[in-house]
Structure 1
Amino acid sequence: MTDIIGNRTIPLLLQEMTSLHPQKTFVVFEDKEEMSYSLTYEEFTDKVCRLANAFQTRGIKKGDKILLHLPNSMDFMISWFAITSLGAIMVPTNILSTEDEIAYLFEHSESKLVITEDEYVYKFASFYDQINGLFLSRSNGQSEHGVCLQRIIEQTEPLSQFPNVSSNDIASILYTSGTTSKPKGVLITHANYLFAGEVMSKTLRISPDDRVLVVLPIFHGNGQYYLSMPALTAGASIAITEGFSASNYFKQAKRLQATVGSLFAAPLKMILKKPYDPTDAKNGLRLIIFAQSITNDQLHTFKDRYRVPLRQLYGMTETVGTPLINSLDGHYNNESIGRPILGYSVKLVDENNHEVPDGEEGQITVSGIPGRTIMKGYFNNEEATNSTIKDGWLHTGDIARKNRDDGYFYFVDRKKDMIKRSGENVAASEVEDIINEHEAVFESAIVGVPDEIKDESIHAFVILKDGYKPSSREIIDFCKTKLAKFKVPSAVHFMEEFPRTSVGKIQKHQLKKFIPTRGT
């Protein structure tokens, strides 16, 4: 494969785009109070250079890690580019993480400096003496805990000479959420970021006239890979909101003049659940990409209401870009996760790593070059790296099938989401799809629970549509008409909301806590 990156880096790309578009708006940010402000390419780069100098003055050098514990903000963006300009490594974390979780991430990542806000400082109290420096975003000034980030930027001269940074150098460690084990740190290089920018800007047809809309937490790869880097690559602009609001999503898009958005299935469903405002159909979005399946009915309802084209894709932190996506041109099928894009090869394999025939289920594997087109590996975890990347193929742990006629891939389930019942394999998503067909059901989630006789029993968790009150037996009987006996849930639990990750994924391991034990 021809290397389209060469030895380019994030700071070189920013400098290049700044020279081309100095007075053009690069980033516009809107906070929770709907107050917004923006920076041009030139203004943004000036702040990046000042903060980079402040880091260097405090002893940060190439290869050092800086932990970001910030919500979506202008300071997050400035910090990201200042860190990578020095050849240092960004470690972005979820602001919902607990004290214990943060302590683990800080220690595991070997971070030297922390950037956070006053309200989160308590999470660092137990290891404060190990932090070489603590910068506080949106601080009112002096603090006993650290120094004001804004004041440091204002009082520091721009860095005039940058360290020599290579495209193969690590730019960030993105921690994946752990469900049954500790989070793994995904190593992402400068080349990875630039590759994402190149392939995603071409795939989504990002032009200098576009403005991408980031509403999901930007510590996650989605906002970095699919929106920010493609926008920078094309000389476009970025709109960031402090958080996601289902009722305000399209109003924010209009206020911020956004043209391209990215969501997960959960936020899409949240938008559909809110009272419909017809004025939201008059928005400037030309495209919303999304991940994780929603029903065909929900797809049609969303399109009819908001008049925005949707395209489902498949990707993960480790794949960097999206190996699979529905095309913007010609035929597409949003019930699928699409077909391979330029720069990626995808095949489905069985337990023995043999490619399965079209139409059969297999694990999604993605061909790539570690540190260039896919992640470099997992930080300080050689065993996990070697079990994930084998002979140039990244094993995702996700199960899919490929249609033999048109080449579209269809997501089946996470490999670990397969339930073994009485010797039979049951895909949780298959049962969920059937339950979601019931007229009373808004959303469902299936989990397997250890069973002495049947290996695992199947439990369904259901959120109902407003105005419906079916019984558990009614849901089970509905499943019996559409599923083989061994796939029918043993029990149904009704809930108002599901526990979710910061990007809307259902935390199925948390759902198991709501299953009553015998005798209760």
Structure 2
Amino acid sequence: MIFDTQHPPAGTVRDWMDALADARGDEISHVFPDTDTAISWSELRDRAAAIAMHLAGMGAMRGESVAFMIPNGREAVLALMGALYGGFRATPINLAAGAEAIGHAITHSRARILLCDHRQRMLLAETLKGRHAAPVVVDVAADFDWPATAQPRALDTLGSDDDALLMYTSGTTGRPKGVLHSHASLLAGGWNTALAHALMPQDRAMCVLPIYHINGLCVTILAPLLSGGSAIVCEKFSASQFWGLCQTHGATWFSVVPTIISHLLHGAAEPTSDCLNAMRFGRSASAALAPEVHSAFETRFGIPIIETMGLTETAAQILSNPLPQHGTRKVGSPGCPVGNEVVILSPDLAEAPRGTEGEIAVRGANVMRGYLDDPAATRAAITADGWLRTGDLGRQDAEGYVFVTGRSKEIIIKGGENISPREIDEALYAHPAVVEAAAFARPCPRYGETIEAAVVLHDGSGPDAGELMQLCETRIGRFKTPDRIHLMSELPKGPSGKIQRLKLAELTTPTPKGESHQTG
């Protein structure tokens, strides 16, 4: 298999694993710092094939969901690759989603086999209470503990149109939906990342995002598969260990979310010059990166940050800024389409003129097959001519760069005026003590909705609410300034680390204007 910069990859994940194992089998594919282990491409292929054949021996059929509840690490990568290699529908379960959402995913996916880390057994038992689902559970500790009856069986042939991945959305605005990807769309998603960032075989990704989220899975696991590179897979992010692990294991790039960039910026840990010299770029996705944080990070560490945008429904990346040597990076924009098409749609779903705000839509080989068992939601999301409606609002400039102005479901409507919470977030991030910030709406009898914000401060100290509100008023005016600011120890986040803005109203208590509210 050859990486083609002109066309999305052909074949299946199995084909690409076989090709790398045959061509570069002795080279490291993944490093696992938490267990101080590593695995080569040939070892990965052989273990994935053995897992796949055992799953087939348990009765798993091609295209059938095989779920797994495993935190990042060797077993998670093996489970994912084993399911994909076998032609089963890999169904990673979001361990941070809560019992109700996890139970729904297991039940809705109809998974008859579940690969489980022993540390998740209690959570699994809780999620299955009162449900009809009763999957056969395989313990993955040390090695996969297959039932005695699971005799390896030969695998079916695969095609690029076969199902590959079933991943559930975060469900912040309703019950999680099962996003269904084929091998073709899954590989196209990884290809978009590899293409945008000019990934090479000598590149090594730093993966600190969970691979049960599309960012961690497609960007730092599948993109290296297509480029022939490798990945460092950490169980979780640690600000104090991040730079040391990058240096020890030779990271040349990393993919994180804005909250992680902010925590690294405000952290005491300093990377060595060797670490910085080896690092080609950092990648930010899953949420908007405040320009002040972006600029401050690059000033402190000298590492270019490439802002991008992607969705579960598009196998991650749809937009990316270029690398510094390849073009202009526009701070505040997730960039231009790479590997797919992007347009802005007007309310009547016609293409809007450049510079006009509307709904961002994407079309390409990386777009999902649809939502599992939900044809109505699929029809609502994908237009008749193949455009996936993202639900994000934005505009596109003359050079094709997209500027996201908000999420349609997160827009604050105060006195009949639409206000993007991102604009308020960026005003708050302008204060050097602010590590996390998110504006949100509160119902109001006078204006319909009023503006509030939640903030996490560096070391829990710094400005009071009045100072932050004055900062906002100076930068964005009185009308858009939050009426209340809540000082919190942590903001609620999804599995990727993206702040869950819509949960803030229920987690905070209204307080008089100009006062802070200490929460958590």
Q: What is the TM-score when the length of structure 2 is the normalising length? A: 0.90
Task: Report the residue type matching 2:342 in the other structure.
Answer: V
Deviation at 1:311, TM superposition (A): 0.6
1:401 is aligned to 2:401? no
Q: Deviations over 1:139-190 (max 9, x none)?
A: 6xxxxxxxxx43549998876x420212111111111101121111110110
Q: For the residues of structure 2 that align with 1:469 and 1:233, how far apart are their CA atoms?
A: 46
Tell me the residue number matched to 1:103. 103
Whether the 8 Å contact between 2:57 and 2:151 is mirrored in structure 1 is no
Candidates 12, 28, 32, aligned match of 1:29? 32
2:328 to 328, 331, 355: 331
The equivalent position to 1:131 in structure 2, one of 131, 134, 137, is 134
Equivalent position SS for 1:232: helix
> 1:64: how far off?
1.7
Q: Residue 373 of structure 2 aligns with which residue? A: 380
Query: Does 2:348 correspond to 1:345?
Result: no
Superposed counterparts of 1:69-148, under 5 Å: 69-125=69-125, 126=128, 130-138=133-141
* Distance change (3 Å), C-alpha of 1:491 and 1:199: closer
Which string of whole-angstrom CA distances, capped at 9 and with x for unpartnered residues, describes residues 332-386 of structure 1?
1232111122x31111122222333333321111123xxx421111111111111
Which structure 2 residues correspond to residues 23-422 of structure 1 after superposition, within 5 A?
23-31=26-34, 35-125=35-125, 126=128, 130-138=133-141, 149-152=143-146, 161-279=154-272, 282-283=275-276, 284-291=278-285, 292-328=287-323, 329-341=326-338, 343-368=339-364, 372-390=365-383, 391-404=385-398, 406-422=399-415
For 2:38 and 2:430, the matched residues in 1 are separated by 45
Q: Is the 8 A contact 1:65 1:109 kept in 2?
A: yes
TM-fit CA distance, 1:114: 0.8
Q: What is the alpha-carbon distance in structure 2 between the residues aligned to residue 518 and residue 251 of structure 1?
A: 42
- In structure 1, how many angstroms separate the alpha carbons of the residues matched to 2:509 and 2:189? 45
Distance in 2 between residues matched to 1:464 and 1:262, nearest whole Å? 24
Shift of 1:402: 2.1
**2-structure distance, mates of 1:332, 1:515:** 37
Using a 3 Å threshold, how does the CA distance of structure 1 residues 282 and 344 change in structure 2: closer, same or farther? Answer: same
SS in 2 for 1:416: coil
Give the counterpart of 1:462 among 440, 447, 455: 455
Q: Distance in 1 between matches of 2:148 and 2:189?
A: 32
Residue in 2 aligned with 1:17? 20
Q: Distance in 2 between matches of 1:112 and 1:157?
A: 17
In 2 relative to 1, CA 439–83 (structure 1 residues): closer, same or farther, beyond 3 Å?
closer
Larger mean Cα displacement after TM superposition, 316-325 or 128-137: 128-137
Work out the CA distance in 1 between the residues paired with 2:297 and 2:433.
19
Give yes or no for contact 1:47–1:153 (8 Å, CA) kept in 2: no
Kept after mapping to 1: 8 A contact 2:69/2:92 = yes
Residues 439-448 or 105-114, more deviating: 439-448
Q: Which amino acid aligns with 2:46?
A: D
Deviation at 1:65, TM superposition (A): 1.1
- What letter is aligned with 1:262? S
The CA distance in 2 between the partners of 1:97 and 1:111, in whole Å, is 18
CA separation in 2, counterparts of 1:459 and 1:103?
33
Let me know the Cα RMSD of the aligned residues. Answer: 2.5
Deviation for aligned residue 1:90: 1.0
Q: Is the 8 A contact 2:309 2:334 kept in 1?
A: yes
Counterparts in 2 of 1:132 and 1:506: CA distance versus 1, 3 Å: closer
User: 1:55–1:196: structure 2 CA closer, same or farther, 3 Å change rule?
Assistant: same
Q: TM-score, normalised by structure 1?
A: 0.90
| Aligned residue pairs, count | 500
Alignment check: 8 A CA contact 1:310 1:334 kept: no
- Consecutive unaligned residues in structure 2, runs of 5 or more: 1-5
Which residues of structure 1 form unaligned runs of 5+? 140-148
User: Contact conserved, 2:114 with 2:137, CA < 8 A, in 1?
Assistant: yes
- Equivalents in 1 of 2:275, 2:25: separation in Å? 31
After the TM superposition, which of the residue ranges 120-129 and 185-194 deviates more from structure 2?
A: 120-129
Q: In structure 1, what is the equivalent of residue 3 of structure 2?
A: none
Change (3 A) 1:438 1:312: same
Q: Distance in 1 between matches of 2:232 and 2:457?
A: 34
Q: Distance in 1 between matches of 2:395 and 2:100?
A: 39
Question: Could you tell me which amino acid in structure 2 is paired with residue 392 of structure 1?
Answer: G
The C-alpha deviation readout for 1:439-465, integer Å capped at 9, x for no partner, is: 554432111111122111111212234
Alpha-carbon deviation of 1:98?
2.6
